[in-house]
Amino acid sequence: MHRDSERHKLFTRRALMLAGGKTVLLSVLAGRMYYLQVVESERYVTLADENRINLRLLPPPRGRIVDRHARPMADNQQNYRVVIIPEQAQDVERTLDRLSLIVSLSPGERRRILREVKRKRAFVPITVRENLDWREVARIEVNTPDLPGVLIDVGQSRNYKSGPETAHVLGYVASVSEKELTGDPLLELPGFRIGKAGVEKVYDLALRGSGGSSQVEVNALGRVIRELNRQEGQPGTEVRLTIDRDLQNYIANYLGNESASVVVMDVHSGEVLALVSSPSFDPNSFNKGLSQAEWESLISNPRAPLTNKSIAGQYAPGSTFKPAVALAALDKGVITPETKVHCGGSTKLGNTEFHCWKKGGHGPLDLRGAIEHSCDVYFYEVARRTGIDRIGAMARRFGFGDQLGLDLPGEKSGLVPDNKWKMGAIGSPWQLGETLIAGIGQGYILTTPLQLAVMTARLANGGRAVKPRLTTDQFSPEGVQPYPTDEAESLGLPPDHLSIVLKGMEDVVNAPTGTAYRSRIKEPEWRMAGKTGTVQVRRISKAERETGVLKNKDLPWEERDHALFVGYAPFDKPRFAISVVVEHGGGGSSTAAPIARDILRETQRLAAKHDVSNPVEEQEI
């Protein structure tokens, strides 16, 4: 009995201890469950959602670029691309091997993808190929079970309506390079493009917009099940240009593959209606990705299709510079409109002979006649009397020698030389003979086609310092504002000085003995005035002068003269100014003047059409 009693007590104690242990364990378990389900419920709901829900950044639609009549020049179109997410793909190289059986991947593309895999975070999608067709999209979708981490993404791609015709104005967009990453998550999105040239670059932030977001539910393998929520981003701002798309296209097609530049602008507002550099390139190719062969073809072309000649081409202005020289002389008082100089075909300074373009000379000429006939001897004498400092000061008043601030990247300033510049750049003093050469727009003087158009506009508008612009509105941190309509400030030129120069330019085109008479506009209401220019790109030796100077057509292309023309129309009530530069085109009167005539005629025809029409009705959607 005693042993049974002891055994019962022992069993009872053990049972109580076991029950107590179970109670403690159950209490701990219940407490832990309460802590997890009640106290920490929000945290674990969030963690569960993070495993179930992916938050994705959505690229905003890039803002459109339209012309002065609100017609699209750059907009967006759908773009199907295949992307890979490294953390879902696990073995990226193996996945790429499988994918390459469906869409071709060059060794260069593979290296680029693997480089981005190392550089970017594992969950960031990386673009493999863009601009897929429906056949390629279907084949990838069918094979998705064997392509972990591979997705088809539908985005937007930039589309340039006119392509090469507007390339140097609009520029292009391209993929973000490593050095362009700023921490903005938008820049890391697959297929995201930023402006790399032209208007696309200058107004990139405004055109870019702000990103949206999408919440999608995924399964354990990371496949998207459904979209839970979507918040669209803010589209980029629409940029309206002063360019007339029809005129721009007309000029570009007119020039064809000629190495040339044309600028057309409003003489009062400074609005640039056309800015063409030829030959050009297709900006859509940069958006899609250039092949190595295409790139080498562009950079090896001697006519420099990638250079915007209108703002970055620097040329001696030749005789188109003579109006500025004439005004400098009148301003200094060394000549009057009636001052005559006899041209016998050349003039001497020391032992050096300076020739006129007309071998037999022009005889006695006053200022108006010297401009009409473009007499070099007259302007040699005028430059000698005026001096390089006065010529340079007047040139700067007309916009030469400095950037004009047009809203495009890459604008050059040209060069207005003087004694100080020459001592600093070359280390020798200025010579009087160099002043004579400057008087006919050659020597060290360099200008851009844009500067030549601005000079012409400032002459034609009565001496107002109009500045060129490419957009109808100003963009600033404060927002988008219209440009003020205030009249440009005066250059301080006496009206009678301007009048005699403008009459000379009128005679250049409309007088039977003018250098551009054969290129006149015959419609009375559209008649133009202007100034021809021919610039030598090689030195003509004394022996060649004695035996006969070779004609341009007998020379290699790169040794032919540049052909220039500046003008405005209508000459009795100026509205439009133009500059034309044809590289190695020959004579300004024979090559550049006819181009200017046809373009100014078309400019006025289009202006008359739009003046009587409702621009809203002509918008393209």
The residues assigned a catalytic role are 319
* Cα-to-chain-centroid distance, residue 375: 38
At 418, list the tokens.
């003087």
Strands 529-535 and 363-365 turn out to be: unpaired
Single-letter code of the amino acid located at 373: H
CA gap 401, 391 in Å, rounded: 12
Cβ(530)–Cβ(390) below 8 Å: no
The neighbour count for residue 273, using CB atoms within 10 Å, is 23
* Cα-to-chain-centroid distance, residue 449: 15
The DSSP secondary-structure symbol of 224 reads E
The DSSP secondary-structure symbol of 241 reads B
Smallest CA-to-CA distance from 325 within 376, 268, 264, 266 is with 376
Cβ(550)–Cβ(560) below 8 Å: no
CA gap 171, 201 in Å, rounded: 7
CA gap 459, 465 in Å, rounded: 9
At 295, list the tokens.
């790139």
Half-sphere exposure of residue 278: CA atoms within 13 angstroms, side-chain side: 24
Smallest CA-to-CA distance from 578 within 320, 375, 402, 405 is with 320
Cβ(526)–Cβ(600) below 8 Å: yes
CA dihedral for 170, 171, 173, 178, sign (positive or negative): negative
Place of tokens 């859509």: 284
What are the backbone dihedrals phi and psi of residue 355, each rounded to the nearest 5 degrees, phi first?
A: -95, 150
Give the chain's end-to-end CA distance (angstroms, integer).
Answer: 107
CA dihedral for 143, 149, 152, 157, sign (positive or negative): negative
